[in-house]
Amino acid sequence: MSGECCGPAEGGPSQDRSRGEQSAERLWQVRELRLAAVAAVLLAAGWLVGLAGAELVGLGFELAAAVAGAATFVPGALRNLLRRRVGVGTLMTIAAVGAVALGQFAEAALLGVLFSIAEGLEHYAIARTRRGLRALLALVPPTATVLRDGGEQQVAPDDLAVGDRMVLRPGERAATDGVLHSGRTSLDLSAITGESVPVEAGPGDTVHAGAINGGGAIEVDVTAPASDSSLARIVHIVEEAQDRKGRGQRLADRIARPLVPGIMVLALLIAALGLVLGEPLVWIERALVVLVAASPCALAIAVPLTVVAAVGAASRTGALVKGGAALEELGRVSTVAVDKTGTLTRNEPQVVATIAADGTTEAEVLHIAAALEARSEHPLARAILSAAGSPSPADEVTAVPGHGLRGHLDGVALRLGKPGWISPGPLTDDVTHWQQLGATVVLVESDDTVLGAVAVRDELRDEAPETIRRLRALGIDTAMLTGDNTRTATALAQQAGIDTVHAELLPEDKAGLLEKLSNGRRIAMVGDGINDAPALATADVGIAMGAMGTDVAIETADVALMGEDLRHLPQVLSHARHARAVMLQNVGLSMAIIAVLIPLAAAGVLGLATVVFVHELAEVLVIANAIRAARTRPLPDTTPVSPNHDRRPSIVGKPGPESGGCCDAC
* pLDDT tens-digit map of 389-432: 777 888 888 887 767 888 988 888 899 988 888 989 899 999 98
Select from 295, 297, 298 the least CA-distant residue to 597: 295
Cβ-based neighbour number of residue 447 at 10 Å: 9
CA-to-CA distance for 263 and 595, rounded, in angstroms?
A: 12
* pLDDT tens-digit map of 58-101: 889 989 998 998 888 888 888 877 887 766 677 778 777 877 87
pLDDT of 51: 85
Would you say 391 and 371 are in contact if contact means Cβ atoms under 8 Å apart?
Answer: yes
Query: Would the pLDDT of 16 be above 70?
Result: no
Check 164, 177, 188, 339 and give the catalytic one. Answer: 339
Annotation marks residue 339 as catalytic? yes
Identify the residue with better confidence: 347 or 552: 347
DSSP-H helix ranges across 154-197: 190-193
* pLDDT tens-digit map of 217-257: 899 999 999 888 877 776 676 666 555 555 665 665 566 66
**Average of per-residue pLDDT across 340-349:** 80
Cβ-based neighbour number of residue 163 at 10 Å: 8
DSSP-H helix ranges across 437-560: 464-473, 486-496, 507-518, 533-538, 551-556
Q: Who's near 512: CB < 8 A, 6+ residues apart? A: none
* pLDDT band, very low/low/confident/very high, at 5 (cuts 50, 70, 90): very low
Gyration radius (Cα) of the chain, Å:
33
